[in-house]
Every structure is written in C-alpha cells, then in structure tokens.
C-alpha cells in the first residue's frame, strides 16, 4: 500500500492558494482515476483507490500546513507503513512555475509542511516538488504562497496537474524516470500531421489537349504520320 499526501490548508478560502497545489494534485488524481469519495479520517480527508496494480490512499491533512505531520504520521501508523511508502506532493518556491522535481529524502528547506512531517516520520520519504516560482524577496513569501494563482497561471497549472495525473501509475510503481517522461509527453504540444504527398496529376488532367478522344480515321492518321 502507498500513501500519497498532498499538502495545503483546509477550507474554501485557501483552496486556490499557491500553497495548496499539493491538494490540487491529489484531487486531480482521485477524479481521473476513479478513486472513492473523500471522507474524514486521520485528521484529514482520505480517498482510496488503485494506481496500476498498487493500492493507494490519498490524504489531504486538515491540520493546516505547519502541522501536516500529525495526519501523515497517524495514517502511516494505522497501516503499519514506513516512510518508504510515503509520497508527499507540495509547492516549491525554488522551482519556476510549472516545473517539477522528484526527490528521495533530504531536508525540508524551510517548508513548514515538510518540517512537520520530518518531526513525525523522519526525512526518508519521496517528495514531488511542484514549482510555483518565488516572489523575489523573502519578506513577500508568506503573502505570496497564501494568495490565489493568477489567471495567467491557469494554463501551465492545468497542464501540470493533468500531466501528474496521467503519470500517476508510474509514480505509484516507483518508476521515477517513467513518471517524469509521462508528464513531459502529456504537456508536449501536439504535432501537426505531416502533409500528404501530392500525387502527380495523371496525364489526362495535366494535358487536356492529349486527353481529347482521337476521332481521326485510320487513313487520316496515316497521312498525318508522313506530313
């Protein structure tokens, strides 16, 4: 079994925030892959289903970002899972908007949700980092991540969420390169079909004069031949 946790803050006022892109990603996976309805459990909302041959529990902690580890830790303990069975999807300031990186283990880099998860389950889990860009100065970070995505962001945001969903089977299977390739392919512009080769016009079409029916008699043809 696998636990995929999207990070964010609960409540309608936060649902389109940049900080909630993790929630958006697991919601898209649940909708596209026929997961069960969301229900309250483990201090959050969970939805169960399968990705490929893997049983998966999707989790959205309802503890607010800086206490995400409480919900994650409770879910892992209930199913007797270790951090190797955990994938956390979260926003990443240090990546350009629309970029993503898959990482195993490491530090929390000041992210409050990851900091809490580290405290409850340790650092040895997989993170899917989704770029939201940086506001340019650290004093603006809090207001930036807690503000909604701009209308201009909707194109790349929709592409990114669709790509994650389309590659989710690979992600659950532990095929990192396959997952990233699936995301890239889903976001690549559609190729225009190659133009069909033009068929050379047949002689009758190309040369109307020669296509006319020859109405001469045999004697006239013979006379014309020796002119």
Query: Distance from CA of residue 129 to its chain's centroid?
Result: 12
Instruction: Identify the active-site residue in 19, 33, 90, 111.
Output: 19
Active site residue 19: yes
* Pair 18, 72: CB distance under 8 Å: no
Strands 54-61 and 2-6: parallel
**DSSP symbols for 72-117:** HHHHHHHTT--GGGEEEEEEETTS-TT-EEEEES---TT-HHHHHH
CA-wise closest residue to 5 among 52, 54, 65 = 65
Residue entry with tokens 């892109």: 21
* Pair 19, 143: CB distance under 8 Å: no
Residues forming the active site: 19
């Amino acid at each position: 079994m696998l636990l995929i946790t999207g990070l964010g803050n609960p409540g309608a006022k936060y649902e389109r925030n940049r900080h909630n892109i993790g929630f958006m990603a697991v919601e898209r996976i649940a909708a596209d892959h026929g997961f069960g309805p969301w229900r309250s459990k483990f201090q959050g909302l969970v939805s169960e289903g399968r990705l490929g041959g893997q049983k998966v529990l999707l989790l959205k902690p309802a503890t607010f970002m800086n206490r995400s580890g409480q919900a994650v830790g409770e879910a892992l303990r209930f199913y007797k899972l270790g951090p190797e069975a955990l994938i956390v999807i979260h926003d990443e300031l240090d990546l350009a908007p629309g970029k993503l990186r898959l990482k195993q283990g490491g530090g929390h880099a000041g992210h409050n949700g990851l900091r809490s998860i580290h405290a409850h389950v340790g650092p040895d889990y997989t993170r899917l980092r989704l770029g939201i860009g940086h506001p340019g100065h650290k004093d603006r970070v809090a207001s930036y991540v807690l503000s909604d995505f701009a209308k201009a962001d909707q194109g790349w945001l929709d592409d990114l969420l669709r790509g994650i969903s389309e590659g989710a089977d690979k992600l659950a299977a532990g095929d990192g390169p396959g997952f990233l390739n699936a995301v890239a392919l889903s976001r690549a512009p559609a190729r225009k079909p190659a133009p069909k080769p033009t068929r050379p016009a047949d002689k009758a079409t190309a040369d109307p004069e020669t296509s006319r029916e020859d109405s001469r008699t045999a004697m006239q043809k013979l006379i014309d031949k020796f002119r």
